[in-house]
Structure 1
Amino acid sequence: MSDESSSPQQILLVTGMSGAGKSTALETLEDLGWEAIDNFPIRMVPDLLSRNEGSAAPLAIGVDARTRGFVPVEIRAQFEDLSARPDLSVGTLFLDCTSPEIERRYNETRRRHPLAQGRPVREGIRAERELLAPLRKWAQMVIDTSGYGRNHLQQAMRERFAQGQTGSLTITVTSFGFARGMPPIADLVFDMRFLDNPHWVEDLREQTGRDRAVAAHIEADPTFAPAFAKIADLVVSLIPLYAAQGRAYLTVAFGCTGGRHRSVFSAETLAARLKDEGYEPTLIHRDLAARAADTVEGPVP
């Protein structure tokens, strides 16, 4: 028997709430070299694995309430049996999301919830959450995508499932708006609301921290340069310390009120500094596409 065949094949069950991002998760796994199958009939999983026997490629199997034969307790029992096989390394990932956020996503896309059956979306969500409770409790990994955009979920999947990246620190720099909620995953959070807010300059309101005029406005604030220099120096000094402790991932988040101006410029500037230091950070702007709104920013100062 070859060394390759003696290594257990990775099998990942991907499930969770409809609208929580399962399709994005599976697409990202495919990009990472996994074989991914969505809504595969549960009763055919053993046959699939027997046909795939000897394969070294990791396999992700997506199931949810739409899947034929979807009975959570039976799925759990079936995958627990697979876990006992020495030729397989079985994991479970559950994608969750708050009910109001799922309802918002369905209302935006005008898609029908699979369990609504002509009822309001929220009733379908409630029924699905009750149905999936055994799987969520059992899952080895749970990712809450409530505050995630598509890019953020893709990054979270890459951090957890990219092959051959052990031993190096994956750095993510993200911007966000406090008015739209804190990011669910962040190791270092810097509040940039002490800076003068470009939102209240009419010509800058619809622009973002990526635009030169907004950047010039922020840089003209006398508090920016000394404060940011200290923040950047702190982050640069901490990175090797996190790496020395065996950390695989580090997320640095910059927040402002709406997540479109000050936090975006700060994240862009730190990412550039880290590249100068020889790192390759991933840059994510969570709320960049959000509409500029006085109701979010608050009253005119």
Structure 2
Amino acid sequence: MTEDERRDGAEVLIVTGMSGAGRSTAANALEDLDWYVVDNLPPQMLRPLLDLTQIAADALPKVAAVVDVRGRDLFAELPEVMRTLRDRRRLRTVFLDAADDVLVRRFEAVRRPHPLQGDGTIIDGIRRERDRLAVVRERADIIIDTSTLNIHQLSTRIVELFAEEGAARHTLTVMSFGFKYGLPPDADMVADMRFLPNPFWNDELKSLTGEDDAVVDFVLAQEGAVEFIDAYARALVPVLEGYQRENKRHSVVAVGCTGGKHRSVVTTGELASRLAGVPGVAVRTKHRDLGRE
């Protein structure tokens, strides 16, 4: 295989490690980063998977395969498969680990047996698994000890390692709505713009919307309008930064007025404009009730 073929092929990641160390959490975080994740893949299927990514490189640019002892006897071939594939396209291995006592507590918390426990105890299963994984752990590119990490912290660690440089870590939707049609059920935060005069009662503005310049000028000229928007945008910045630290991937700020046609639409646009520069955040706008009569 040429250097160009390695460079042009998909990036392939093997996710493995100790049962209970967080493989499912890591897989979910990778899916949120637009990786194509295959769970519980037998090691023998890694070669066909790699060939598939070469054929469909544009459709599958990033593929993660979760490989672990659930593959039973088939798992024994993983070290050899990893060795033979090392010179293939951007193949990396991440190994998730945790201290034995932490793994025991996690299995006890979910009241499930260890997959290698058999007739023994949880710690017996953990020790058997460590023996089987010793070579795999030694050859891993990245080892993550999750002993002191909760699921949110582990997700954040995965994002830090595998998110594309400059990619948004949080998507914010700023949504206008009309209170008379009900609160958006998916709103994380709600702003009420009914403290401003309603353009609906202005004959020249009634038939227009918050997307028209005349309505924008009217709303922003009202006492307290710009001050509120500026202050609310500043208050949201640390919230959005905190969401990224906690690996909360999406949030909705709902901005309401009576009918969702004038004041809330103007404010939505202004907030989105002010928040567009927050690092790591992609901002979208939505006008839920703009088209209602």
**Distance in 2 of aligned mates of 1:35 and 1:153:** 19
The correspondence for 1:76, drawn from 79, 82, 92, is: 79
1:249-264 paired onto structure 2 within 5 Å: none
User: Per the alignment, in what secondary structure is the counterpart of residue 71 of structure 2?
Assistant: coil
Structure 2: which 5+ runs fail to align?
A: 170-233, 248-293
1:136 aligns with 2:148: no
Report what 1:63 is aligned to.
67
TM-score, structure 2 normalization? 0.54
Change (3 A) 1:46 1:280: same
1:280 aligns with 2:280: no
- On the 8 A contact 2:20/2:106 being kept in 1, the answer is yes
- On the 8 A contact 2:97/2:143 being kept in 1, the answer is yes
1:227-266 paired onto structure 2 within 5 Å: none
Q: CA deviation at 1:30?
A: 0.8
Structure 1: which 5+ runs fail to align?
A: 171-271, 286-301
1:56-205 paired onto structure 2 within 5 Å: 56=58, 57-72=61-76, 74-85=77-88, 88-165=89-166
When the two structures are aligned, how many residues end up with a matched partner? 176
Report what 1:294 is aligned to.
none
Report what 2:35 is aligned to.
34
1:207-237 C-alpha deviation (Å, 9 max, x unpaired): xxxxxxxxxxxxxxxxxxxxxxxxxxxxxxx
Structure 1 or 2, whichever has the larger Rg, is 2
**Distance in 2 of aligned mates of 1:8 and 1:53:** 5
**Distance in 2 of aligned mates of 1:32 and 1:89:** 17
Q: Which aligned runs of 4 or more in structure 1 are off by greater than 4 angstroms?
A: 3-6
**Distance in 2 of aligned mates of 1:18 and 1:5:** 31
User: Per the alignment, in what secondary structure is the counterpart of residue 28 of structure 1?
Assistant: helix
Change (3 A) 1:284 1:29: closer
**Distance in 2 of aligned mates of 1:12 and 1:126:** 26
Q: CA deviation at 1:121?
A: 0.5
- On the 8 A contact 2:114/2:125 being kept in 1, the answer is yes
**Distance in 1 of aligned mates of 2:165 and 2:96:** 24
- On the 8 A contact 2:93/2:142 being kept in 1, the answer is yes
Report what 2:271 is aligned to.
none
User: Per the alignment, in what secondary structure is the counterpart of residue 159 of structure 2?
Assistant: helix
**Distance in 1 of aligned mates of 2:78 and 2:51:** 18
- On the 8 A contact 2:42/2:75 being kept in 1, the answer is no
